């Protein structure tokens, strides 16, 4: 079969995939207010309050299958119809990629925004779970154009279309063209709540995970994963000390670090482990602006004025304890100003993890954060069952 015939067959198969109702157009990119990377946290809406336990309306994740089709609703894309679970797909950010892996869909994953920001190294501890990041197409190549979407020809693009417009510089017409000619977009930017263009509903990590489970028709896997997650978080919280520290979450502007981009412990999924561990945010309490909301770098003098109880340093990619000790901890201990920080003097500078975390990466990062923040409580314990997680991912979750 030649390429044109194959593509024609795939487009015919996709004729039942698309946006339901009046989503294309005004609904598809609801909330876009023009390009730009800065802004404050969007105000909480009624639906957002419902997400956070405030009561009132909840979305219906799926509709009952009719003639082998089903639909899933998620803001800002609206209702997307499917004629079956997508066979090929990709996510721009590692949070959704990790969700797909957790749902047993690693084989169909073809690409990622930036390979280094997808924590595939965590899967090494899970028997039978493997994702080779080097084999994934990297969507970011000094920008991300439409051509790679055509080349990959995936069944689903798991990315918020407003992210494509406001962070990657696409036009609305670009999004409409790709979803019409290739495949739908499905997603909501949930890792941060600092973008001013995100004025529609947010989802928690497990809200987003549940939506993607509906897309892939993997409700049982989702429920098994959530059950174990809830047990782990409940157990960890039951062991926390009565007094929890103020932390500063930082990203080095260079290595070894002389200045940092500040990240606040807000409501985005990137900070879930810190909320699970009950920390206070030293940066927020001193009026520091999140880097994702346009905040600039801060130096050691500024940090000394704040003097947090603990410092968590976020670095992308796989980071060994030896690398972190040599390039971050030892550097700060020998630094004229940094050495005066309470966190440095008390040995409370530790690795802060990756920005993008789905349900698997979160468990690993929760464990590492708990060990770093409360070493006297958790030591080197494994705080979740690796085999249980591997069984869920590989389809043996009924054991």
SS3 label, residue 183? coil
What is the pTM (predicted TM-score) of this model? 0.85
Can you give the pLDDT of all 399 residues of the chain as single tens digits? Answer: 444 444 444 443 343 344 443 233 323 332 233 333 323 333 333 333 333 333 333 454 444 444 589 999 999 999 999 999 999 999 999 999 999 999 999 999 999 999 999 999 999 999 999 999 999 999 999 999 999 999 999 999 999 999 999 999 999 999 999 999 999 999 999 999 999 999 999 999 999 999 999 999 999 999 999 999 999 999 999 999 999 999 999 999 999 999 999 999 989 999 999 999 999 999 999 999 999 998 899 999 999 999 999 999 999 999 999 999 999 999 999 999 999 999 999 999 999 999 999 999 999 999 999 999 999 999 999 999 999 999 999 998 776
3-state SS string for 40-60: CCCCCCHHHHHHCCCCCCCCC
Neighbouring CB atoms inside 10 A of 341's CB total 22
DSSP secondary structure string for all residues of 115-170: GGGS-GGGGGGSTT----GGGSEE--SSS--SHHHHHH--SEEES-HHHHHHTT--
Joined together, the tokens standing for residue 152 give 């990959």
Which of these, 94, 165, 106, 105, lies nearest to 131 by C-alpha position?
Answer: 106
Which CATH architecture best describes the domain 3-217? 3-Layer(aba) Sandwich (3.40)
What's the rounded Cα separation, in Å, for the pair 196 and 93?
A: 19
Paired tokens of 398 = 């009924």
Residues of the chain with CATH 3.40.50.1980: 3-217, 239-393
> Quick check: helix, strand or coil at residue 205?
helix
Q: Closest Cα partner for 267 from 204, 361, 197?
A: 204
CB contact set of 244 (below 8 Å; sequence gap of 6+): 277, 278, 279, 280
> What is 239-393's CATH number?
3.40.50.1980
- Buried b vs exposed e over 151-175: b needs ≥16 C-beta within 10 Å? ebbbbbbbbbbbbbbbbbebeeebb
């Amino acid at each position: 079969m030649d390429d044109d015939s194959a593509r024609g067959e795939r487009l015919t198969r996709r004729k039942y995939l698309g946006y339901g109702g009046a989503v294309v157009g005004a609904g598809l990119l609801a909330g876009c207010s023009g390009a730009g990377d800065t802004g404050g946290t969007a105000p909480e809406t009624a639906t957002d309050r419902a997400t956070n336990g405030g009561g009132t309306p909840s979305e219906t994740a799926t509709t009952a299958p009719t003639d082998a089709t089903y639909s899933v609703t998620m803001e800002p894309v609206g209702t997307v119809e499917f004629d079956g679970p997508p066979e090929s797909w990709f996510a721009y950010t590692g949070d959704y990629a990790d969700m797909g892996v957790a749902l047993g869909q690693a084989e169909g994953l073809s690409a990622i925004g930036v390979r280094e920001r997808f924590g595939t190294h965590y899967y090494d501890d899970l028997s039978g779970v493997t994702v080779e990041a080097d084999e994934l197409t990297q969507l970011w190549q000094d920008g991300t154009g439409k051509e790679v979407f055509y080349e990959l020809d995936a069944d689903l693009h798991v990315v918020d279309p407003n992210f494509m417009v406001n962070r990657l510089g696409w036009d609305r017409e670009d999004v409409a063209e790709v979803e019409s000619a290739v495949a739908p977009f499905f997603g909501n930017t949930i890792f941060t709540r600092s973008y001013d263009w995100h004025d529609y509903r947010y989802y928690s990590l497990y809200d987003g995970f549940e939506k993607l489970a509906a897309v892939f028709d993997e409700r049982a896997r989702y429920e098994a994963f959530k059950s174990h997650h809830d047990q782990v978080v409940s157990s960890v919280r039951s062991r926390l000390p009565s007094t929890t520290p103020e932390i500063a979450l930082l990203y080095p502007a260079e290595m070894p670090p002389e200045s940092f981009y500040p990240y606040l412990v807000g409501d985005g999924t990137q900070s879930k482990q810190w909320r699970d561990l009950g920390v206070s945010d030293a940066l927020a309490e001193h009026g520091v602006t999140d880097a994702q909301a346009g905040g600039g770098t801060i130096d050691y003098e500024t940090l000394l004025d704040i003097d947090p109880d603990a410092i968590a340093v976020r670095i992308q990619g796989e980071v060994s304890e030896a690398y972190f000790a040599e390039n971050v901890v030892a550097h700060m201990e020998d630094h004229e100003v940094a050495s005066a920080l309470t966190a440095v003097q008390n040995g409370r500078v530790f690795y802060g993890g990756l920005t993008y975390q789905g349900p698997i990466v979160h468990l690993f990062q929760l464990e590492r954060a708990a060990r770093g923040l409360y070493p006297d409580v958790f030591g080197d314990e494994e705080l979740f069952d690796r085999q249980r997680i591997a069984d869920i991912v590989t389809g043996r979750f009924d054991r």
